[in-house]
Amino acid sequence: MSQRQSTPGHWERYWAEREEIDDVYSNEDRIKRQLDPLPVEGRWVMEVGAGSGRDSLDLARRGARVVVLDYVRSSFKVIRRQADALGLEVHCVCADARNMPFREGSFDLVFHQGLMEHFRDPLPLLRDNTRVLRLGGHLLVDVPQRWHVYTAAKHVMIALDRWFAGWETEYSPRELEGLVRQGGLSVVHTYGEWMVPGFFYRSLRYALMRSGLGKLPKYPPEIWPLAPLGRGWRAFLRARRVGLYTCAMIGTLGRKTVEGAWAGRS
């Protein structure tokens, strides 16, 4: 398997090719659903690994004081364009997520999706996330789930040196919860979601777009009665722990319950 790292160059290129945000798939509100119950009005929140910034902008609409942090600046252009159109204020900070330029206890909420899987050692990231949280603050970590066809296809692409990020890993629900605890937090809950549309449809759509051969609809048409059956099956699995192992993406919400829990760990 390729040992290439995920580098700043991968992400500068990725966001340069995706300035038209309407062509970039959202996370289907899975992050929003987890953060909606948390009080954010007037509180400082930070998204680490800025990406499209759509979840951060939703929090800004709810009155949060939002910081987005990344180690490349390319996605900031995408975020600022959306924020300006909506009349929202978002603070963009370019920095290393493992050594963030903020004091301990600066934020009520820190979250990231599509980030931690690009670190070969995720603990420095998680410990600095915990450091900047106030006591009682929350961290949401969202990553690819290990036991999924997405993982198998991804590792083929990595081996062929064709994966967009150069290198990427994944976690089982148990592994993710263990890492959150090692980072110094207590686990509140873990959730999972499926790709809609699926991985192979997305891959085909991007391949056609890049080759100039055409452009499929962003979402394929729903086929009756398969669509209602699929939604019902997903709802059934979502309510059960075993269902997490069928999801493409999983996330864990952690809470900082001990002051200085991040310090002095190796």
CA atoms within 13 Å, Cβ hemisphere of 181: 10
List the one residue out of 101, 174, 108, 94 whose CA is nearest residue 140. 108
Residue ranges of domains in the chain: 8-195+248-255
The sign of the dihedral angle between the CA atoms of 182, 183, 184, 187 is negative
**CB atoms < 10 A from the CB of 194, how many?**
22
Contact indicator for 243, 236 with CB cutoff of 8 Å: yes
- For 8-195+248-255, CATH gives 3.40.50.150
pTM of the model: 0.80
Is the pLDDT assigned to residue 26 strictly greater than 60? no
pLDDT in tens, 116-151: 999 999 999 999 999 999 999 999 999 999 988 888
- CB 142, CB 31: distance < 8 Å: yes
Name the pLDDT band for 208 (thresholds 50, 70, 90): confident
